[in-house]
Amino acid sequence: MKVLLDTNAFIWWDSEPQQLSNEIVEFLLQPDTVKFVSVVSLWEIQIKSQLGKLTLNQPLEKIYHSQSQNGVIIKPTSSVDGVSSFIAIKSFRAIPAI
């Protein structure tokens, strides 16, 4: 089965798996579970870290490499994704989640 980890789930999976339910951890540990994380989540993590809104236990680059070795696949975005998100938020002055 395939699963796309959101930003929080990815951080917890890497650094604080106790924040995830036992069922989720068991699911993620199954060999047939294909784990994805969006490159946008990595971008969000880096921005929040630089703004002081998120403290990582190690640099994002190390998290990226260790999770890549653990089988997490980084899902890229396309120019269509970028244009679509720009159109969706063009009326906002700031992104509230950041």
Q: Answer for the pair 12, 45: CB distance below 8 angstroms, yes or no.
A: no
Does 82 score more than 70 pLDDT? Answer: no
Residue 67: how many CA atoms within 13 Å on its side-chain side?
Answer: 27
Distance CA 23, CA 41 (A): 23
The predicted-structure confidence for 29-48, as pLDDT tens digits, reads as follows 999 999 999 998 999 999 99
What pTM did the predictor assign?
Answer: 0.74
Q: Which amino acid is it at 42?
A: L
DSSP 72: P
Q: Where are the domains of the chain?
A: 2-89
| % of the chain at pLDDT higher than 90 | 61
- pLDDT number for residue 76: 84
The predicted-structure confidence for 2-34, as pLDDT tens digits, reads as follows 999 999 999 999 999 999 999 999 999 999 999
